[in-house]
């Protein structure tokens, strides 16, 4: 039986970022979830420059190798989870840039979110992402994971330790993504 491929995309690319540890936690839960084949995708490793394609992405005619590689990566997934920081009441530029590079590759696929930050727990980042992913034809699932005061969730050795209830919240997002990717019939 085919298991849908879930990509967990680390949105932050800045030095000292918390995203990889948060994504590792979510990825470990996703690997235990019976429904998915999972893959971590780190935008820092993808290394997209500021959008530099001469044609709109809706045409799917890419000039640059980095865009063609990004298209192949994104096309391989059936669903996505973006792990995003909240910067200045919104999401970060690297995430927006990565989304804007492509169009058809995202269309019709479900998407969930893990937002993290300070007092707002990444909720404003997730809220700002909703119209963007919807414009790209993605299908946001109900519920998101929100991590408040993320810096307090780290151990002395830099590991992420989720607060009570976060594992359950993450499992709920995974269940919704699976429901949206499961074949009808």
**For residue 158, what pLDDT is reported?**
85
Q: Are 114 and 145 in contact (CB under 8 A)?
A: yes
Q: What percent of the chain lies above the pLDDT cut of 70?
A: 98
Kindly report which listed range (97-101, 110-114, 125-129, 159-163) carries the lowest average pLDDT score: 159-163
- Examine the pLDDT at 20 and tell me if it is beyond 60: yes
The CA-atom distances, in angstroms, between 163 and each of 107, 154, 159, 160 are: 33, 10, 13, 9
Task: Sort residue 132 into left (φ over 0), alpha (ψ -120 to 50) or beta.
Answer: alpha
Q: What is the pLDDT of residues 38-70, one digit of tens each?
A: 999 999 999 999 999 999 999 899 999 999 999
122, burial (CB in 10 Å: exposed 0-12, middle 13-18, buried 19+)? buried
Q: Are 66 and 48 in contact (CB under 8 A)?
A: yes
If pLDDT is split at 50, 70 and 90, which confidence band does 183 have?
A: low
**For residue 1, what pLDDT is reported?**
58
- Examine the pLDDT at 185 and tell me if it is beyond 80: no
Q: What is the pLDDT of residues 137-157, one digit of tens each?
A: 999 999 999 999 999 999 988
**For residue 2, what pLDDT is reported?**
79
The CA-atom distances, in angstroms, between 150 and each of 80, 108, 118, 124, 179 are: 22, 31, 6, 15, 29
Cβ contacts of 159 within 8 Å, gap of 6 or more? 21
Domains with residue ranges and CATH for the chain = 5-181 (3.40.50.360)
Stretch 2-24: mean pLDDT: 95
- Cα separation, 92 vs 124, in Å, equals 11
- Cα separation, 183 vs 185, in Å, equals 6
């Amino acid at each position: 039986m085919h298991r849908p491929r879930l990509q967990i995309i680390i949105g932050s690319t800045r030095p000292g970022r918390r995203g990889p540890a948060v994504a590792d936690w979510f990825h470990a839960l996703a690997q235990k979830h019976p429904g998915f084949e999972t893959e971590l995708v780190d935008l820092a490793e993808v290394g997209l420059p500021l959008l530099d394609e001469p044609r709109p992405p809706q045409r799917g005619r890419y000039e640059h190798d980095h865009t063609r590689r990004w298209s192949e990566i994104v096309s391989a997934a059936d669903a996505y989870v973006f792990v995003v920081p909240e910067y200045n009441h919104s999401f970060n530029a690297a995430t927006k840039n990565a989304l804007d590079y492509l169009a058809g590759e995202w269309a019709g696929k479900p998407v969930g979110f893990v937002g993290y930050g300070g007092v707002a727990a990444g909720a404003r980042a997730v809220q700002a992402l909703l119209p963007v992913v919807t414009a790209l034809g993605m299908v946001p699932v109900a519920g998101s994971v929100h991590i408040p005061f993320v810096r307090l969730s780290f151990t002395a050795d830099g590991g992420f330790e989720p607060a009570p209830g976060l594992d359950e919240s993450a499992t709920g997002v995974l269940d919704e993504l699976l429901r949206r990717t499961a074949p009808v019939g």
